[in-house]
Each structure stands twice: as structure tokens, then as C-alpha cells.
């Protein structure tokens, strides 16, 4: 028994089944094959703590569309999957779990904690991978990697040692982001800036040796305990006489210098800035320029340390209150201003981040970044859209050394060992047996782990076997395109680029496709705090993965944010139903009349050639759009073609031929339906893989093809046929469509029900138009609700009460004597007249403009003249009809 499509489309019935089939058949798996050209994408590795959200869904849908497209084009397409160990996020999760069991992290010890961490990873770490599969992601899951698996860990160790030996990695004291709750340094990527209401405290610092004061304004009064200078602009006439003098630091009662530095903005605030090198990155740089001491006044938990004197042991905010109170009592508090400013918080625990000076491991960036800058400047790496290279250069131009150490246990432990006797530092893959300096036999490994971004920076090549010269690495690297959100250009993209050049000598990819954020219907960022997040898995469960994917891509432009509307999801589901029902209709007719793959062109009508030509043009346009990553533009064209041209027009046009047993063109209609359906399914497949697969495979099985080979995802992508030229037939059918639309519009405006038929008179002086209409009378019955159709050169025999539809070079009359509402007809014609007046005014304005006529191309001028003639003829007909009704 031949397979048939179910009467109704139910994604739950097909999606899991089809995905299992794809996995079983190894359709996603890519092997080295030097007879084929490779195309590689590496997945931005989701955190093992992650759960699929709309951002993930968009990012992975885009990657899947591209990889399915390239696979069908004949490339050896690899989509390399994997997950990130996410040091901080994972450690926080495990600590939370331990707390519920009444266990403290320290009680377990490092080895015990890591054992629990690996157990957690094995139990929960693959959750998001299963969710990506629900989305339809065609990753090569046989190649799944993890940033802490043996191969990736070996790559991390290799890179650390290489950079250290080149002098690019060093340990030193610099300002870093510090989380007082998680008790670790964190990267810029983990700092979220949010607007908070705060204050500017204006404080007087007495000038030593005079009765004068300088006034500073600060948002963090507690840091004044660590001030080592105040700074003014060297060209500020108000203060330059103070440079070299000293001020008395209030409360601490210590003299500190006044320095001149161009960092100070003369126009901002008071023009005097307190300098706290240990607690502000800009102050740190000023301090280096002026050899200022660095005084850290905070413990790791953000309480005040011994350098804070009488405030020692207080929380930073409690210390702030007491310092402000004391300044007020001393008469040194000038005023307090309300101030809204951006405050950095840790994205994992929402704690306000503290800039602190710390001994950490850093990567020197000044040399490493140079090839990464040059690659984008020369176009070796291109951003899509191009405007994002400005953000890239803004970061590279202001780059600072990268803090790579983290005070965590989960992650890649830094391969540095310290001699317990002489303190010698040894960096090596394995623990040294003896100290190379003093011969001592006991060395202790550094307690810190590496920043998660250190390993993910190697992702494009470590996943393919580097540092080994594996066949996969040599064949699939460099990768082709990276798809990612604009929010991590700095943190991940740039690190992959400079890492690729440094360790492989090549750019890791040549295109970076940037997408925006998925926002809610009101344009707000989806977040837990707002409670406006939408679970993609719930959408998939209710509407299917195809509907979600289509919704996320429709209208999506590279780099732009998009709004998520449930109405659009329903529209996408309705489109899937439309495709399904149209396919069922076509298959039912295929079943009734077997056709071969070859058809006599004489059996094709103008309508057949029109839709074939439209489909052919669609192939060219969609392919070009997809090659340029205009995924939203491409799918809109596919959507419009399938819904309107194919379903609403062509299928309706051919129904009379399909229902006739004597129509000699029936075979041509059925053949055309099958060809265009197949092409449409292939173009749609990257976007809606499940529904297209089910229909395509059912169609293949009906054709007695080998069902084992009947997968659309390994079929050939349609290719534009340059030899197909049906422009004459296209013009003819478009003319018929215009006439039918005119009839429908008039009937709609007059509220005439489709069940009420009427005679249709088509009047044109043009012989070729009358010939087109004569051969297409049948379409007026099926599409224009016509009882009979008459094609005439003049209006002879047409009743005076006929209602009109005006199209270029022809007028359509419908004698709805008992249906016509004269007033409404006059109103409609008045609107049409007003529209035509506007068009004529525009055209005449252009043609009477000397600058336009002298500078515009001849083709453009000819086009406008043609429009003038067309609108003039239409205006004459409308005016004539208005005159008739106003008699």
C-alpha cells in the first residue's frame, strides 16, 4: 500500500520520527572526502547549564538553514556541535545543589568537588543538546565535543605553554572585575551593565598650606580610603597652579599629590578627579603614568580591609554610609546629587561587581591583536552586516591585556607550578619532579583555573583535532561562516580571530553573520526579571518546530533585533497547513493520472509555462539571497510564491483541467504541479525541514522511487535554467491575473457574494489582449465567479448599468443591474480617479523637471512616459464611467 499524507498536518506525528530517521541514516555526518568541497560551521557552544531560549533558537535555526542549503548544493557540509563547561555558571549550580544537601564546597575539597561536577555534567550537561535536536538542528552529533574533553583540554594546555614561552602570558597586578559573592575575577562578558539610581557625593579636599579646597565628585565615597592623588587637566586654568602641590585626604588625614593628566575632562563635574589606582581601571592607568602607590582597601568579600583603618570589617555599603556621615560632620560634604548611572553586575548572581587590583594571570594583547585587525581591514574576514566592523575596531583599538585566571575549581587548571622552597615558577604540561632552580622536590600547582573564553577561543580548530595535524583539521579548517549575536563580538569573536592567526596561521572563518536579539511583542529584552520570556520548547510542542523556525526568520535582517509575536507563530503554522493541503491535493491528482518525468512542451499551456518561469526565477533570486545570508528576504519570497502564485493562482487555474477526463492538457498540468511542488519544497526545506521532508518522501514513494533514498535533505538544490524563456506566457497570465483581481476588487467593494455569478465582458481595442483573454475564458469562471465571458473590441451589447474594472488597455464590464449600488460605484470611481490624479501629477512632475530629463537614463524617461500614457488612458475610462453614472 502506497504511503499517503494524513488528512491534517500534525507536527507531533512526524517531527520526532523524521529526526530519528535522519540520525539513523547518518545524513548529518560529514567525512573527509577530497572529491567534494567542504563547508564548515562551528556551533557557538551553549553552556552545559543552559536551557534553550529564543536567542539560542534563532541562532541555531540560522545555522541550520545555511548548513542544509549548502548540503543540498553538494558541499561536504559539517556543522560541528559541542558544549561549553561554563566555569562560573556550572560551579554556582553545583554549589546550590550541595547547599540543599547541607554540604559546603570547602568540605568536599577540590577533588571531591570536581567529582561531583563531572557527575552533574553527565546528568544535566546534555539537556540543551536534546533541545537543539527538537528544533531540527542537523549538527554532526557523532562529532560532539566538550571544552573540557581530552582533546580540547590538550589544546588549551598547548596554547597556554606556547604563549608563556613567547612572553605573552604573565602574572601581575592589574585592575580586574571582581565578584564579591562568587569570589572570583570575571570577564567583561559576565558583567551586565544596568541603570541604577545612585548619587554624586561632592567632597572638599583641603589644599595643604592654604585655606583653599578642591571639590571632587564621586559615586563611590568608600574608595577614597585608597586615594593616592587627585588629578586635574594640565591646561585647566582653574587648577594648573595646584599641580605639584598636595591635598589632605579627608578622614585618612594623609597628604596626597595633585597631578596633571589629560585623562581629566575639564568640562565634566568639577574638573578635579580623585585617583584610586587599586579600584578603578582608568585611575590605574593614571597611577602608572605618575608612579602612584596602589592601595587596595577591600577584602575579597567586599568588606573593608586593614588599609581602611577604623572602617575595617565593614561591608562596602555600610562603610559608605559612615564615611559620608563623618564628612558631613567635618563640614567637608558639599552636596549630594541624585545620579542615574550604569553599574556593572555579575550576570550569574546579580551582585555589583567591584573593580579591584589583583595578582592574576594575563595575556599581553598588543601583538596578538594585530593580525586580527588587519584581517577585517583587508576583507579576509567580513562581517554581515558590514557595519559591525566598527564595533570590532572600537574594541581592538582600546584593547587591554586579558585577565585569564579565575578563582574557581571547575575548569582548566593553570599549568603553572611553584617551588615550595624558592618560589620558582615552572609552566609545563606535567608536574615537574624537581625545581629546575634549587632542586627541591615539592612543587604546588597554581590553584586558579582559566577563563572559559580561553578554551572557547580555540573552538574552530580544537574541535577538529588541533594541535594534531588530523585529517579533519586539514580538510574542514578554516571554517566558512560563524553565526552569532552582536552581544558577544568582543568576548568571543575577536578571541577566536586572534587565536586562529596565532596558532594556525589562518583566519578561523571568512564570514561572521551577526543577528540581533529576540525581543517580546513590546520590544523589550526577554528576561527572567520581566517574566516575559517565551519557552521555545512550548512553542514547538504546540505549533511544531517548523512554525517556530519560520517565525524567527521571517522578516529577520542581519544585525537587527526582532519582535516575537504569537500571531506570527499562528501564521507560520497556517502556512505549514497550506503547504500540506496543497500537496495532498496534488498527490490525489497524481494518483489518478500517472505522468512521466518527460512531457511534450506542446502539452503545456500558458499557465503552466507561467508558473514554471516564476519558479525558475524564484530559484535564482532565493539562491542569491541565501548566498548573501539574506535569509529573511529569501524565505519571504518562497512564502509569497507558494501561498499566492502557486496555491492561490496556479492550482485554482488548473482545477478545471484536472477535473476533466477529455482535456488534452491535463497531463501537462499534473506534470507541472509535480515539478513546481518539488522545487518549492526544496527551496523551503532549510527553513521548514520536517513538513518538507514528510511531503517530499511521500511524493517519492508515490513515484515508485527507492524510498530509502527519498530524503529531501540530500536531494539536489534547484538550479536556475538560463534557457527557460517564457516571458510571453508570463505577460499573458499576468494580464489575466490583473483582470481577475480587478473583478474581485469590484465585487468585494460591492459586497457581492462569491456564489452570485455574473456575465463578464472584456473590452479592448488591442488584438493581442483580446487573443489572450479568448484563450483564458475558463479562468474567469473559476477565479472571477463569471457565468459567461465575452471578449469584444467595443462596448456593443453591454448594458448601461454595468459596473467596471479598469486595467491597462482594457475595461471589464459586469452587468450587475440588480446588485449595483450606484452611489457606491460613484464613490469607488472617485477614489480611483483620485489615485490616478496622484499618479499623473507625479509622472508629469518628473517629465517636466528639466534636471530629471537631462540627467536620468533614457530607459527611465521612457518608462515614465509609458506610465503617463497608461494612466491617461485609465483616467479617460474612469472619467467616462463617472459621467455615465452622474447622468
Note the Cα 430 to chain centre separation in Å: 42
Radius of gyration of the chain (CA): 36
Instruction: Find cell 585587525 and name the residue.
Output: 373
Q: Would you state the cell numbers that stand for residue 632, as one nine-digit string?
A: 529573511
In sequence order, the 6+-apart residues with CB closer than 8 A to the CB of 864 are: 843, 846, 847
Q: Distance between CA 465 and CA 151 in Å, rounded? A: 7
Is 346 in contact with 186 (CB distance < 8 Å)? yes
Q: Distance between CA 539 and CA 653 in Å, rounded? A: 36
In sequence order, the 6+-apart residues with CB closer than 8 A to the CB of 821 are: 750
3-state secondary structure of 76: strand
Note the Cα 107 to chain centre separation in Å: 44
Q: Distance between CA 317 and CA 336 in Å, rounded? A: 16
Is 117 in contact with 410 (CB distance < 8 Å)? yes
- Sign of dihedral through CA atoms 48, 52, 58, 60? positive
171 assigned to a ligand binding site: no
Is 375 in contact with 416 (CB distance < 8 Å)? no
Buried b (16+ CB within 10 A) or exposed e, 599-615: beeebbbbbbbbbbbbb
Is 516 in contact with 486 (CB distance < 8 Å)? yes
List the 272-275 sheet strands across, edge first.
Answer: 246-249, 254-260, 229-232, 272-275
Kindly report whether the peptide bond that precedes residue 278 is cis, defined as omega within 30 degrees of 0: no
Angle, CA 85 vertex, CA 124 and CA 499 arms, to 5°: 155
Is 257 in contact with 246 (CB distance < 8 Å)? yes
What's the start-to-end Cα distance of the chain, in Å?
A: 69
Q: Name the CA dihedral angle for 660, 665, 667, 673, rounded to a multiple of 10 degrees.
A: -90
DSSP 45: P
**Beta-bridge partners for 357:** 175
Q: Distance between CA 430 and CA 192 in Å, rounded? A: 37
82-83 and 145-146 beta bridge pairing: parallel
| DSSP secondary structure, 496-555, as one string | HHHHHHHHHSS-S-SEEEEE--EE-TTSPBP-TTTT----HHHHHHHH-HHHHHHHHHTT
**Beta-bridge partners for 426:** 417
Going by the annotation, the residues of the binding site for ATP are 528
Going by the annotation, the residues of the binding site are 528
Amino acid at each position: 500500500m502506497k504511503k499517503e499524507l494524513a488528512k491534517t498536518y500534525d507536527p507531533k506525528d512526524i517531527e520526532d520520527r523524521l529526526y530519528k530517521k535522519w540520525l539513523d541514516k547518518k545524513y548529518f555526518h560529514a567525512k573527509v572526502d577530497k572529491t567534494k568541497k567542504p563547508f564548515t560551521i562551528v556551533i557557538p557552544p551553549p553552556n552545559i547549564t543552559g536551557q534553550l531560549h529564543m536567542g539560542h533558537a534563532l541562532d541555531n535555526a540560522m545555522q541550520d538553514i545555511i548548513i542544509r542549503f549548502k548540503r543540498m548544493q553538494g558541499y561536504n557540509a559539517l556543522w560541528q556541535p559541542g558544549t561549553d563547561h561554563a566555569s562560573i555558571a556550572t560551579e554556582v549550580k553545583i554549589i546550590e545543589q550541595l547547599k540543599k544537601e547541607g554540604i559546603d564546597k570547602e568540605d568536599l575539597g577540590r577533588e571531591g568537588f570536581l567529582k561531583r561536577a563531572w557527575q552533574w555534567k553527565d546528568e544535566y550537561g546534555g539537556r540543551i543538546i536534546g533541545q537543539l535536536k527538537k528544533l531540527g538542528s542537523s549538527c554532526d552529533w557523532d562529532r560532539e565535543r566538550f571544552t573540557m574533553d581530552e582533546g580540547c583540554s590538550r589544546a588549551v594546555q598547548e596554547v597556554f605553554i606556547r604563549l608563556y614561552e613567547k612572553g605573552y602570558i604573565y602574572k601581575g597586578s592589574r585592575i580586574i572585575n571582581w565578584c564579591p559573592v562568587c569570589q572570583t575575577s570575571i570577564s567583561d562578558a559576565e558583567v551586565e551593565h544596568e541603570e541604577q539610581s545612585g548619587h554624586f557625593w561632592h567632597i572638599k579636599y583641603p589644599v595643604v598650606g592654604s585655606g583653599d579646597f578642591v571639590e571632587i565628585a564621586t559615586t563611590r565615597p568608600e574608595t577614597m580610603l585608597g586615594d593616592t592623588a587627585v588629578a586635574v587637566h594640565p591646561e585647566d586654568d582653574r587648577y594648573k597652579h595646584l599641580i605639584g602641590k598636595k591635598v589632605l585626604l579627608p578622614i585618612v588625614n594623609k597628604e596626597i599629590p595633585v597631578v596633571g593628566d589629560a585623562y581629566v575632562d575639564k568640562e565634566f563635574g568639577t574638573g578635579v578627579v580623585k585617583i584610586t589606582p587599586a579600584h578603578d581601571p582608568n585611575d590605574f592607568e593614571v597611577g602608572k603614568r605618575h608612579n602612584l602607590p596602589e592601595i587596595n582597601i577591600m577584602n575579597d568579600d567586599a568588606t573593608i580591609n586593614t588599609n581602611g583603618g577604623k572602617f575595617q570589617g565593614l561591608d562596602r555599603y555600610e562603610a559608605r554610609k559612615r564615611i559620608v556621615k563623618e564628612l558631613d560632620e567635618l563640614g567637608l560634604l558639599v552636596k549630594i546629587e541624585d545620579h542615574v548611572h550604569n553599574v556593572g553586575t555579575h550576570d550569574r548572581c546579580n551582585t555589583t561587581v567591584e573593580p579591584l587590583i589583583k595578582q592574576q594571570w594575563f595575556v599581553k594583547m598588543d601583538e596578538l591583536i594585530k593580525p586580527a585587525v588587519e584581517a577585517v581591514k583587508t576583507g579576509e574576514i567580513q562581517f554581515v552586516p558590514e557595519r559591525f566592523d566598527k564595533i570590532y575596531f572600537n574594541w581592538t583599538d582600546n584593547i587591554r591585556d586579558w585577565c585569564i585566571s579565575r578563582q574557581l575549581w571547575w575548569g582548566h587548571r593553570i599549568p603553572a607550578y611553584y617551588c615550595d622552597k624558592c618560589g620558582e615558577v615552572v609552566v609545563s604540561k606535567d608536574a615537574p619532579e624537581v625545581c629546575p632552580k634549587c632542586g627541591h622536590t615539592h612543587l604546588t600547582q597554581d590553584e586558579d583555573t582559566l577563563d572559559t573564553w580561553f578554551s572557547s577561543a580555540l573552538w574552530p580548530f580544537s574541535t577538529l583535532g588541533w594541535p594534531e595535524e588530523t585529517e579533519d583539521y586539514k580538510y574542514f579548517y578554516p571554517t566558512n561562516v560563524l553565526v552569532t549575536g552582536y552581544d558577544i563580538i568582543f568576548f568571543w569573536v575577536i578571541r577566536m580571530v586572534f587565536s586562529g592567526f596565532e596558532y594556525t596561521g589562518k583566519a578561523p572563518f571568512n564570514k561572521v553573520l551577526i543577528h540581533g536579539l529576540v525581543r517580546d511583542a513590546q520590544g523589550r529584552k526577554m528576561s527572567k526579571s520581566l517574566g516575559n520570556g517565551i519557552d521555545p520548547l512550548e512553542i514547538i510542542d504546540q505549533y511544531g518546530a517548523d512554525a517556530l523556525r519560520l517565525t524567527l526568520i521571517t522578516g529577520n535582517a542581519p544585525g537587527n533585533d526582532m519582535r516575537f509575536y504569537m500571531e506570527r507563530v499562528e501564521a507560520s503554522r497556517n502556512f505549514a497547513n497550506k503547504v500540506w493541503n496543497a500537496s495532498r491535493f496534488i498527490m490525489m491528482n497524481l494518483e489518478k493520472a500517472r505522468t512521466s518525468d518527460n512531457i511534450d512542451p506542446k502539452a503545456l499551456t500558458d499557465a503552466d509555462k507561467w508558473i514554471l518561469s516564476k519558479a525558475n526565477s524564484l530559484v535564482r533570486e532565493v539562491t542569491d539571497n541565501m548566498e548573501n545570508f539574506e535569509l529573511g528576504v529569501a524565505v519571504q519570497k518562497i512564502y509569497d510564491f507558494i501561498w499566492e502564485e502557486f496555491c492561490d493562482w496556479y492550482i485554482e487555474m488548473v482545477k478545471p483541467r484536472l477535473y476533466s477526463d477529455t482535456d488534452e492538457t491535463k497531463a501537462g498540468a499534473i506534470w507541472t504541479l509535480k515539478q513546481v511542488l518539488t522545487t518549492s519544497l526544496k527551496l523551503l526545506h532549510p527553513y521548514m525541514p520536517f513538513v518538507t521532508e514528510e511531503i517530499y518522501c511521500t511524493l517519492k514513494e508515490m513515484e515508485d522511487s527507492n524510498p530509502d533514498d527519498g530524503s529531501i535533505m540530500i536531494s539536489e538544490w534547484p538550479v536556475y535554467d538560463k534557457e527557460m524563456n517564457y516571458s510571453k506566457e508570463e505577460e499573458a497570465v499576468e494580464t489575466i491575473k490583473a483582470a481577475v483581481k480587478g473583478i474581485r476588487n469590484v465585487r468585494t467593494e460591492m459586497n457581492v457574494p462569491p456564489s452570485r455569478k455574473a456575465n463578464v465582458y472584456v473590452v479592448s481595442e488591442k488584438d493581442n489582449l483580446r487573443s489572450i483573454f479568448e484563450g483564458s475564458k475558463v479562468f474567469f469562471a473559476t477565479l472571477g465567479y463569471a457565468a459567461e465571458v465575452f471578449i469584444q473590441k467595443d462596448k456593443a451589447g453591454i448594458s448601461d448599468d454595468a459596473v467596471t474594472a479598469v486595467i491597462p488597455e482594457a475595461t471589464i464590464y459586469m452587468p450587475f443591474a440588480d446588485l449595483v449600488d450606484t452611489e457606491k460605484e460613484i464613490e469607488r470611481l472617485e477614489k480611483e480617479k483620485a489615485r490616478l490624479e496622484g499618479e499623473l501629477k507625479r509622472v508629469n512632475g518628473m517629465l517636466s523637471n528639466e534636471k530629471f530629463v537631462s540627467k536620468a537614463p533614457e530607459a527611465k524617461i521612457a518608462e515614465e512616459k509609458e506610465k503617463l500614457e497608461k494612466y491617461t488612458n485609465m483616467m479617460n475610462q474612469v472619467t467616462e464611467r463617472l459621467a455615465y453614472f452622474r447622468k
